[in-house]
């Protein structure tokens, strides 16, 4: 259990007070993990203005687990966790309770109103997610470990000859996933993307039986999970030989990626970070081939706030973990994406994915 869970709940209380609620009913399982350390599949958490009245609730399957993972909070055992905590809120005299309206279903909301008509339910979307944007030292260390597992797995894949002509995309993907487990991952961050030849021009191609051929670009987008935290990295390789157009395209994306990394300065609007990278590609005449945003936050989920794109809102905060991943895709021919996971710092961003970004011909 992280010693930071209590501090996170205390920070949340400031946001609750600003929202005018006496308690917050947390039902998103990722947010519950962030605030308590509990990893079961059924839970709710009542964060009360008074820590003494803060309660976690889960069902009987997790009686032992909740006691071990959340020793600092009172635990209730009930199948309908949200319902039970609404009852407790009413019993302790709570008048206004916030709830995660971006998570709660219409039917759940209606049932809670019927259960306790005198209790005022207040929409409070995103309160915990806003806290999660800035990572503490323990979270960054887990992110480092997840990135290291991915880096090591990719290095071993190449050293073993796993990225070679004649293999299929699916074979490469499954071997890389296995190697991430061998290097300390507890899971994969998402389905590994291995995209060869023309498939490399598809941003989120799913691996198939397509065979890797000499002269192909091979784009690999993958990540590991350690302690619940996700890594995210993309590297693009060339097989056996590289053509002039491939060198030019790779150089363009590498320069755009460097510009995006350099723009990761606290206080910078996220849309400006995207623009710094996108301008490099637009100036080369390929702006319409950069088909997605520049990046996103990463942590307990593979995609978190902030979203770094043209329409992104807000400014960068020191301590945010984000990706920078420009790409240019020539349909039917091939594409390049280069992606890193980094932590925004006051001086310069901390790079967590350490595999070389020089074009590697294997």
Q: What is the pLDDT of residues 51-107, one digit of tens each?
A: 999 999 999 999 999 999 999 999 999 999 999 999 999 888 999 999 999 999 999
- Domain definitions of the chain by residue range: 5-132, 137-351
CA distance 227 to 145: 9
CA distance 191 to 207: 9
CA distance 276 to 294: 10
Q: What percent of the chain has pLDDT over 90?
A: 97
Give the Cβ contact number of residue 166 at 10 Å: 10
Give the Cβ contact number of residue 91 at 10 Å: 10
CA distance 96 to 21: 5
The pLDDT assigned to 239 comes to 98
The pLDDT assigned to 174 comes to 98
Fold: same for 5-132 and 137-351: no
**pLDDT digits 0-9 by tens, 208-217:** 999 999 999 9
The pLDDT assigned to 3 comes to 66
CA distance 250 to 252: 5
Contact of 340 with 353, CB cutoff 8 Å: yes
Q: What percent of the chain has pLDDT over 70?
A: 99
Residue 1 scores a pLDDT above 70: no
CB half-sphere exposure, 30, CA atoms < 13 A: 18
Contact of 345 with 320, CB cutoff 8 Å: no
Least Cα distance to 145 among 87, 192, 185, 205 occurs for 185
SS3 241: coil
Q: What is the mean pLDDT of residues 149-154?
A: 98
According to DSSP, the β-strands at 55-58 and 74-77 are: parallel
Residue 226 scores a pLDDT above 80: yes
Which tokens belong to 19? 């929202």
Average per-residue pLDDT in the chain?
97
CATH number of 137-351: 3.90.230.10
CB neighbour burial string for 241-256, b if at least 16 within 10 angstroms, e if fewer:
ebeeebeebbebbbbb
For 5-132, the fitting CATH number among 3.40.350.10, 3.40.50.2000, 1.10.1200.10, 3.40.50.1440 is: 3.40.350.10
Least Cα distance to 258 among 357, 186, 160 occurs for 357
């Amino acid at each position: 259990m992280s010693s930071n869970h209590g501090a996170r709940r205390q920070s949340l209380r400031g946001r609750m007070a600003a929202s005018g609620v006496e308690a917050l009913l947390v039902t998103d399982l990722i947010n519950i993990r962030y605030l308590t350390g509990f990893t079961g599949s059924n839970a709710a958490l009542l964060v009360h203005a008074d820590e003494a009245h803060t309660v976690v609730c889960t069902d009987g399957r997790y009686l032992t687990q909740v006691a071990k993972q959340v020793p600092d909070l009172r635990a209730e055992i009930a199948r309908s966790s949200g319902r039970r905590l609404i009852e407790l809120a009413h019993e302790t005299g709570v008048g206004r309770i916030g709830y995660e309206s971006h998570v709660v279903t219409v039917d759940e909301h209606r049932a809670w109103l019927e259960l306790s008509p005198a209790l005022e339910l207040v929409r409070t979307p995103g309160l915990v997610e806003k806290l999660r944007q800035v990572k503490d030292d323990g979270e960054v260390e887990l992110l480092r470990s997840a990135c290291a597992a991915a880096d090591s797995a990719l290095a071993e894949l190449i050293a073993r000859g796993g990225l070679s002509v004649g293999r299929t995309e699916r074979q490469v993907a499954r071997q890389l996933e296995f190697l991430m487990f061998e290097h300390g991952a507890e899971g994969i961050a998402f389905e590994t993307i291995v995209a060869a030849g023309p498939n490399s021009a598809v941003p989120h191609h799913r691996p198939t039986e397509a065979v890797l051929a000499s002269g192909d670009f091979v784009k690999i987008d993958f990540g590991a999970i350690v302690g619940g935290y996700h890594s995210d990295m993309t590297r693009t390789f060339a097989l056996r030989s590289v053509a002039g157009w491939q060198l030019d395209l790779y150089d363009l994306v590498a320069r755009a990626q460097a510009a995006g990394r350099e723009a990761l300065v606290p206080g910078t609007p996220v849309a400006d970070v995207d623009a710094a990278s996108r301008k490099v590609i637009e100036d080369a005449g390929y702006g319409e081939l950069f088909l997605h945003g520049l990046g996103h936050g990463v942590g307990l989920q593979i995609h978190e706030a902030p979203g770094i794109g043209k329409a992104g809102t807000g400014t960068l905060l020191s301590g945010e973990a984000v990706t920078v991943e420009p790409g240019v895709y020539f349909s039917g021919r091939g594409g390049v994406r280069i992606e890193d996971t980094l932590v925004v710092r006051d001086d310069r961003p901390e790079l967590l994915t350490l595999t070389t970004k020089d074009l590697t011909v294997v």
